[in-house]
Amino acid sequence: MAWFARDRRQKVPSHEIAEDLFHVMVEEEPRCIAEGVFLVAEEDPDPTQPGIRLPRTLWPQFRARMRLYREATVLMVLLSKAHVEPKYEEVLKSYERLIFPVRPTPDAIAKQEALRAAMQDISQLVDPQGDRKALSWSAAWLNGMGHAEINPINLSLCGLYWMGNYTAVAGALKELRPI
């Protein structure tokens, strides 16, 4: 009865999908900060609770790394979706216009390389070739900004955040159809 199947996804202009993804998934305060997964060590009222306590001096690197990986997650999901469903190519192009400058500059090329590396890194977490190693992935991600974390609960929180972020982007696209 496939001929009775109907596409019930909400129809939205491509540029609006891209703008919404960018605003919600990249620009808004990450929920992991609001939920206390990542904390400013010097401001932590209860150090007995699980949470990754980053020194205030690392917060600029943390925020930059979070933004890069959040941009990369959206880009990775859009690339995958556009490959399977050509209607999403316009969404992908609109999103790329939001994250890349109009003209190629050395900074733009560096950002493109950083996004490529981040997408490969995220791919190792969400779609590993072999055994999933979320704890070592999380430790390496945190180490990438100069924070050594060994607590398995905190490392699990980090990995779960990034897997949830990927799932949230994919889920949002599952509900929307570009027009």
Q: How confident is the model at residue 86 (pLDDT cuts 50, 70, 90)?
A: very high
* % of the chain residues with pLDDT over 90: 64
pLDDT, one tens digit per residue, over 40-81 is 888 877 778 888 888 999 999 999 999 999 999 999 999 999
Candidate from 130-134, 141-145, 157-161, 165-169 with smallest mean pLDDT? 130-134
Q: What is the mean pLDDT of the chain?
A: 88
Task: Give the model confidence (pLDDT) of 88-120 as tens digits.
Answer: 999 999 999 999 988 889 999 999 999 999 999
Entry pTM: 0.88
- Angle of helix 89-99 versus helix 14-21 axis, rounded to 10: 50
pLDDT for position 70: 95
pLDDT-derived band at 34, boundaries 50, 70, 90: low
Give the C-alpha separation, 70 to 27, whole Å.
9
Q: What is the pLDDT of residue 8?
A: 65
Does pLDDT of 2 surpass 60?
A: no
Provide the 10 A C-beta neighbour count for residue 92. Answer: 22
* pLDDT at residue 40, rounded to an integer: 83
pLDDT at 125 over 80: yes
CA distances from 39 to 60, 102, 113 (A): 13, 36, 29
Per-residue pLDDT tens over the stretch 164-178: 999 999 999 988 888
Q: How far is CA 52 from CA 8, 36, 42, 111, 152, in A?
A: 40, 8, 12, 27, 11
With beta carbons less than 8 A apart as the criterion, state whether 124 and 136 touch.
no
Output the pLDDT for position 1: 47
Confidence (pLDDT) at 118? 97
- Going by the DSSP 8-state scheme, the letter that residue 36 receives in this structure is T
Q: State residue 9's pLDDT score.
A: 66
